[in-house]
Amino acid sequence: MVRALRAAFPNAQIDFAIKSQFADLMRHNPHINNLLVFEKELGIETLQDKIKHENYDHIVDIHKNLRSSIIKLSSKASSSTYPKYIFRRTLLVKFGINYYKHIEPVYIRYFKAVKQFGVAYDNGGTEVFYSSADAVKVNTAITNVGLSSSDKIIVICPAASYTNKQWLPDRFAELADRFVKQGYNVVFHGGEKDINLCNCIMHVMKRESVSFAGKFSLLESAVLLKTAKLAITNDSGMMHLAQSQKTSVVAIFGPTTKELGYFPFPERSQVVEKKVSCRPCTHNGLNYCPKKHFRCMTDIEVDDVEKAAKILLMNLS
């Protein structure tokens, strides 16, 4: 959306407010002038003061929560936002009633916040920009484990923010073994909290693989994903990060569904999911299965994910 907004208003001052822990995702974005970094420990007042000081003409709210509403109210700028479809989402998740007549991904919904300016989606996908230093660090790390960016690398990101969005570790292990046998180099990745999960999967494997879990920042992770021929992920931030680098993605979806707006772009992606009557049981995820059978994930076999991956790999060859 920011890219399309810049194309429509090339000479405008476009600033972006963002939480400090995610600031790197926009730090090198060429379409914005300034980052307004929100430090939670300093309180919302600091961000409010920054916004008042700049005297903006308009605020585009693509967060639409209590904090963003307070900021808008305290500013003299006009504002616009987008529909979250909370009522429809609640009916679907809590009662299994589907009122989604047209399924709109969140990235398309964002454009409703700038529709009044004639700004529309340009079909260019998402993008995250990194620095040359980020690239050097990752490429050096890859070289140090005996790989190169020209190798056939498959990056597997087995974690997710909630455990019921994670496919089974032993199946990730079997899938990874199959790809290593076929001549691919398997690299596991995730954050610091995912180190043990990646190590456990590698321990179950019969063949050799590598893990960079916990070793890279968000932007460095983007570099790693860009080097991959394919990324295999759950419904997670790593899925979106891979797509921002135009890397093909196999996305494994369990408790969440397309209606909620977070499926990957159809271009260069395959979604693996099973029709289970209790899906979706959550919007963001849970650390348990409400039905105690976890069929949305256990019904997904290694063959299903391998088949989806081979479709993408075949198109790349």
**271-303 per-position pLDDT tens digit:** 999 999 999 999 999 999 999 999 999 999 999
Residue 176 included in any domain? yes
Show which of 82, 117, 152 is a domain's final residue.
Answer: 117
Residues 217 and 293 occupy one common structural domain: yes
Residue 124 included in any domain? no
Rounded to an integer, what distance in angstroms lies between the CA atom of residue 215 and that of residue 205? 21
> Which SS3 state, helix, strand or coil, does residue 27 take?
helix
Q: What is the mean pLDDT of residues 113-124?
A: 96
Is the backbone of residue 89 left (phi > 0), alpha (psi -120 to 50) or beta?
alpha
pLDDT band at 317 (very low <50, low <70, confident <90, very high): low
Residue 126 included in any domain? no
Show which of 117, 147, 168 is a domain's final residue.
Answer: 117
Number of domain units in the chain: 2
Extended strands (E) in 100-167: 153-157
Is the backbone of residue 55 left (phi > 0), alpha (psi -120 to 50) or beta?
left
Rounded to an integer, what distance in angstroms lies between the CA atom of residue 156 and that of residue 197? 12
Residues 105 and 220 occupy one common structural domain: no
Percent of the chain with pLDDT over 90: 91
Residue 122 included in any domain? no
Residue bearing the bigger pLDDT, 102 or 176: 176
Residue 146 included in any domain? yes
21-58, pLDDT tens digit by residue? 999 999 999 999 999 999 988 888 999 999 999 999 99
In this structure, the number of other CB atoms found within 10 A of the CB of residue 161 comes to: 15
Residues 138 and 110 occupy one common structural domain: no
Question: What was the pLDDT predicted at 151?
Answer: 83
Distances 21 to 37, 208, 241, 289, 302 between C-alpha atoms, Å: 9, 33, 15, 29, 34
Question: What was the pLDDT predicted at 90?
Answer: 95
Q: What are phi and psi of 58, to 5 degrees?
A: -150, 145
Residue 274 included in any domain? yes
Q: What is the mean pLDDT of residues 232-236?
A: 97
CATH classification of the domain holding 73: 3.40.50.2000
pLDDT band at 229 (very low <50, low <70, confident <90, very high): very high
**100 and 259 in contact (C-beta within 8 Å)?**
yes
pTM here is 0.94
Residues 17 and 79 occupy one common structural domain: yes
Query: Helices in 145-284 by DSSP H: which ranges?
Result: 169-181, 195-204, 218-227, 237-244
Question: What was the pLDDT predicted at 144?
Answer: 96
Residues 48 and 185 occupy one common structural domain: no
Show which of 75, 92, 117 is a domain's final residue.
Answer: 117
> Which SS3 state, helix, strand or coil, does residue 164 take?
helix
- Structural domain containing residue 187: 132-316
82-95, pLDDT tens digit by residue? 999 999 999 999 99
Residue 150 included in any domain? yes
Q: What is the mean pLDDT of residues 225-249?
A: 97
